[in-house]
Amino acid sequence: MRLTLLGTGDAVGTPKIGCNCPACEDARMGGKSQRLRFSILVESEGGKILIDTSPDLRQQFLRQNLSCIDGVIWTHGHYDHYSGFGEFYRVQNKVDVYGIPETLDYINNYVSFLKPRYHYVKLCEPFEIIGLQFTLFKVDHPPVEVPTGVIIRERDTKVVITGDTSAGIPKTSMELMKDPDLLIADAIVPPHIHIKKHMNSEEAMALAEKLNAKEVVLTHLSHLFRPHHIESIFLPLGYDGQVFEL
């Protein structure tokens, strides 16, 4: 299993339009602070799956030399997690998409013209694509009613992607998330800032410890962190194009 972080930014990305903070300036100069919006590519011998479809999907496909994929899993219906699906227009028809009914029905209002093939899945019930086992679990991301994270398994290897969430993840989900080989965790802001619907980096690292994660990488990052080359000395910040071979 191979995972590529196609985009590690929050909803506005870095650099933020009109901002001249140190992280945004580093991004404009081509540093690793430059962050496209969130999307993850999952690859196996059986194919390629996207976790969420960033507004920057076209650029991400061009960077990775991708032309088609075998499916999409959507975690929730926020703009920065699905709106790039329109970039499939005249590229790939009838894409298989997976998610809970609440998510798929909401997103369908915006992407129905692309005629995706919908696969409704249930929370906490594993399903298989490209030879990997996926499970969606509930997290906490108000005002979304049923936001989800994703567990990926290949034999004894386990990857947990929190999706967008606060630290208030339900206990039943915490049980499912335990002991990952890799935790990809939402950590939108540094420790001194608190946002109701996301974890900050301190909360994300505490979650990694609770789950007994062997490795953790922080994503969905805002421009409020120091430039990547500084902040990454202290925190395991992800960056666009980062690859994990498991």
User: What's the mean pLDDT when you consider all of the chain?
Assistant: 97
**Residue 64: its pLDDT value, please?**
95
Are residues 54 and 67 in contact, defined by beta-carbon separation less than 8 angstroms?
Answer: no
Going by their DSSP bridges, the two strands 2-7 and 39-44 should be labelled as antiparallel
Encoded amino acid at 96, one letter: D
pLDDT tens digits for range 135-180 = 999 999 999 999 999 999 999 999 999 999 999 999 999 999 999 9
Walk me through the domains of the chain, giving residue ranges and CATH numbers: 2-245 (3.60.15.10)
pLDDT tens digits for range 105-139 = 999 999 999 999 999 999 999 999 999 999 999 99
**Residue 114: its pLDDT value, please?**
92
**Residue 91: its pLDDT value, please?**
92
pLDDT tens digits for range 183-242 = 999 999 999 899 999 999 999 999 999 999 999 999 999 999 999 999 999 999 999 999
